[in-house]
Structure 1
Amino acid sequence: MSDLLTLAFTSFLVQNIILSQFLGICSFLGVSNKRSKALGMGLAVFFVITLSGIVTWLIYYKILEPGGITFMRTIVFILVVAAMVQILEMAIKKFSPLLYGSLGVYLPLITTNCAVLGVALLNIQNNFTLSETVVFSAFTSLGYTAVIIIFSYIREQMLKAPIPEGFKGIPSGLIAASIMALLFKGFVGLI
């Protein structure tokens, strides 16, 4: 049990998918200009990463490995991620058209979000059990969600600040993200 708690803490804070492993940067910078969009994207990524992690683990260990076709894992994982994104897109379009409109192009781009495929591959690379896969996938995606929401709040506050013209937008965002990464690295000593 303590191993699962350590894995949860590590994947959420210490080895944060965005700030430590630099996966998912495109959507991190693209959608973090408003908290509502960041929350919607974070929840969408949470759903896709968690379910894709579980499904890809099952496919890998129940079909690909016994069949001796582990070389097909990347293409199979991409297809699983694409299917999860399609399901999510249809659900959001039906139940929250406003969120669907605000996420715009970023929703289908979750398919190509390297964080989603990265977590699926990390689950296999680290030889996680199914329970470890669930914990790692869920807490990694929760870490993604937390960081993108915190960053959206910072970016909203920066709009009110007197920032020099050359630093407005992405440059000031990257500076703020690097400071956040340093703050999250402070949790390394806790494990």
Structure 2
Amino acid sequence: MEYIELFLKSIFIDNMVFATFLGMCSYLAVSKKVTTAVGLGAAVIFVLAITVPLNWLLDQYLLQPGALKWLGADYADYDLSFLSFIMFIATIATMVQLVEIVVEKFSPSLYNSLGIFLPLIAVNCAILGGSLFMQSREIPTLGLATVYGIGSGIGWFLAILAIAAIREKIRYSNVPPALRGLGITFIITGLMAIGFMSFGGMLTGGDEAPKEEKTVKVEEPKNNTDKELANNTKVNE
């Protein structure tokens, strides 16, 4: 249940585009055609699915304060958290280079259509944001980190796919000249963000369990003297 909840929240509630507005450069530039958006979205899913769990391992066993205790007691006090950005970006750049090689090999047309934006995934703030959110939210297990990476990638994929489909349709619409291009795209993005916010009330869990009422037991007087004291107390009150 925990995995499903995190997966759905990372797609709809904590969507990289609509909740935190990360990865907007690629979102706006590569969303003119659905085919191009699908290719870039799939690449983002792959990179996030690989880099988030890898960076989780780096954070747990190398970067956190005391993470090096597995090397021995002498290393238990080491704190390498200042290297987080460098290590995370190095992991992301390696995976993006791998994606670039694979896409160029098996789909040259997609590689040419993506152009400079494919290698720019390495500096896409949505990719780095996935690892940093994983670290700041202290995701406890490798499995949850993997689920969070995949869910975040799918959320970004849905966002760019939806805006690409809409932008293909509005080419034939009578959009006011002042709003053509990025103007109407930003307006649609804001409306889509409002729509995704509606999922917040559906995935935040149910009502809290009812609190148990405490009952106080009153012991009955054991003898006549106790009964007289109890009666006197009631009279005085």
Q: Determine if the TM-score, normalized by the shorter chain, exceeds 0.5.
A: yes
Between Structure 1 and Structure 2, the one with more helix by share is: 1
Aligned to 2:181: 169
Cα offset, 1:98, TM superposition: 0.7
Aligned to 2:12: 13
Partners of 1:90 and 1:153 lie apart in 2 by 27
Identity of aligned residues (%): 35
Is there any run of 5+ residues in structure 2 with no aligned partner, and where? 69-78, 204-237
Partners of 1:176 and 1:158 lie apart in 2 by 11
- Pair 1:126 & 2:126 matched: no
Aligned length: 190
Alignment of 1:63-78 (within 5 A): 63-65=62-64, 66-67=67-68, 68-78=79-89
Alignment of 1:37-116 (within 5 A): 37-65=36-64, 66-67=67-68, 68-116=79-127
Runs of 4+ in 1 over 4 A off after TM superposition: none
Aligned to 1:151: 163
Deviates more, 1:57-66 or 1:36-45: 57-66
Partners of 1:64 and 1:10 lie apart in 2 by 27
Which has more radius of gyration? 2
Q: TM-score, normalised by structure 1?
A: 0.97
- Pair 1:184 & 2:199 matched: no
Partners of 1:106 and 1:168 lie apart in 2 by 23
Partners of 1:20 and 1:63 lie apart in 2 by 30
Larger relative contact order, structure 1 or 2 (CA cutoff 8 Å, min sep 6): 1
Aligned to 2:75: none
Cα offset, 1:64, TM superposition: 2.1
Partners of 1:6 and 1:14 lie apart in 2 by 11
How large is the Cα RMSD of the aligned pairs? 0.8
